[in-house]
Structure 1
Amino acid sequence: MVPWFALFEAWAVAKLIRSPSFNRAVQKAYRKINRLPDMEAKNGGGRTGPSTLDHFKDEVKTQLRELTWQKRPPK
């Protein structure tokens, strides 16, 4: 085997193994072969409820409503 080809092959294999899409494909195949349930939700991305940003916005709105300067006594 030619040494430059062995170096190229080693580089290509290392690049492939580090690839996220390759790892996802291997994980999907492994789960299918072993009949394991999917880790990701079917609705895309695994998010099923409100995000952290939504919770943060709701909390800020609630706190702003409860500030005393908004509840001035009538004159």
Structure 2
Amino acid sequence: MRAPWFALIEAWAVARLIRSPLFNRAVHKAYRKINRLESLEQENGGGRTGPSALDHFKDEVKQQFKELTWQKRGPKQ
């Protein structure tokens, strides 16, 4: 029979492992490999196949700045 303190230490160790970023990356990598999904590595664009939300946001901000009335100056009179 295990001592009750061993169960406490085991629970703490498991909780710490589950919160570990390294463990989570390994689990995600194994999951993607098993299910034959695209890699999330940088050479693969982080798993994305198109422009990111940040790219869309930057394009939208640029477009809105172009449409501002103070930028559309007419000829001086």
TM-score of the superposition, structure 1-length normalised?
0.55
Take 2:14 and 2:59, find their aligned partners in 1: how far apart are those partners?
48
| Runs (5+) with no aligned partner, structure 1 | none
**What's 1:38 paired with?**
38
**What's 1:27 paired with?**
28
Q: Give the total of aligned pairs.
A: 74
Percent identity, aligned pairs only, is 66
Structure number having the greater helix percentage: 2
TM-score of the superposition, structure 2-length normalised?
0.54
| Runs (5+) with no aligned partner, structure 2 | none
Take 1:60 and 1:73, find their aligned partners in 2: how far apart are those partners?
26
Q: What does the per-residue CA deviation read over 1:18-61, in whole Å, with 9 as the maximum and x for residues that have no partner?
A: 323212212323443x3612352542534566554454444344
Please tell me the root mean square deviation across aligned C-alpha atoms, in Å: 3.1
